[in-house]
Amino acid sequence: MEFYKYQGTGNDFIMIDNRDLQFPKDQNIIAKLCDRRFGIGADGLILLENEDRYDFKMVYYNSDGGESTMCGNGGRCLVAFAFFLDIFEEKCTFTAIDGEHEAEIHNGVVKLKMIDVENISYDGEDSVLNTGSPHYVKYVEDIANYNVFAEGKKIRNSKNYSEKGINVNFIEKISDNEIFVRTYERGVEDETYSCGTGVTASALTFLQKNNLNSIKVKTIGGNLKVYAEKNAGKFHKIWLEGPAKQIFRGKIDLI
């Protein structure tokens, strides 16, 4: 099988052109491919498939092999992959598990439209919202030295969230127009270098607190930017912007 490896701010994915529907959607095979010692190694695997009325369809799997909800950085990487395959020129529309998305690419930077967010709920002082995937957002200090793995795992496996799981984001203000976000991802069950839907969720809480329409976001893997508009308490026209790059391509036996 031919595969491609992409990364978006350090969030890495195996990309497969599955327009012929030949890829075996087996959880054990996907988990093995994502394994960093016995496979290619990735935070997830993404299939590009055909879809009527759209340029393509996104099918996303976590590194544990289970099909999952929307992945923002994965979506951006898939747009870059589709552009590489000459499926579109500058702008495209595609469908994912959470619905329709628009995107555009310029000089390796992908701008992806996320779903509208109708409300932000609260768990104590922390925020809970869905940006295509469920996210928990907690403000902390000294985030560079924060134990994201231990604290994220604790919240993800707590009574309220253990059944379906939740992604846990830790956020610290750098300046009036920049934040630092680190994320523990369910399905990966570890901290990743970046999480697109998590960055979006974290950014929206900051935008709401500070009445802003855009914010720069620093992650371990690089820098992103989130834009959003708010009307009647709901966020819309939410865009996630940042680089997406092909790292390498190759062939691997699925046996």
Q: Which residues are catalytic?
A: 71, 195
Integer Cα distance of 96 and 80 in angstroms = 15
Q: What ranges make up the beta strands (E) of 97-166? A: 99-106, 109-113, 121-123, 126-130, 134-139
Q: Are 73 and 194 in contact (CB under 8 A)?
A: yes
Residue linked to tokens 């802003």: 212
Measure the CA–CA gap between 221 and 193, rounded to whole angstroms. Answer: 5
CA distances from 18 to 8, 25, 52, 62, 116 (A): 21, 11, 15, 17, 28
- Inter-CA distances, 162 with 96, 132, 155, 183, 199, Å: 25, 19, 8, 17, 22
Residue 173 tokens, joined:
């203000």
Task: For Cα atoms 198, 203, 204, give the angle at the middle one, nearest 5 degrees.
Answer: 100
254 Cβ partners below 8 Å, 6+ apart? 1, 24, 29
Distance CA 17, CA 23 (A): 9
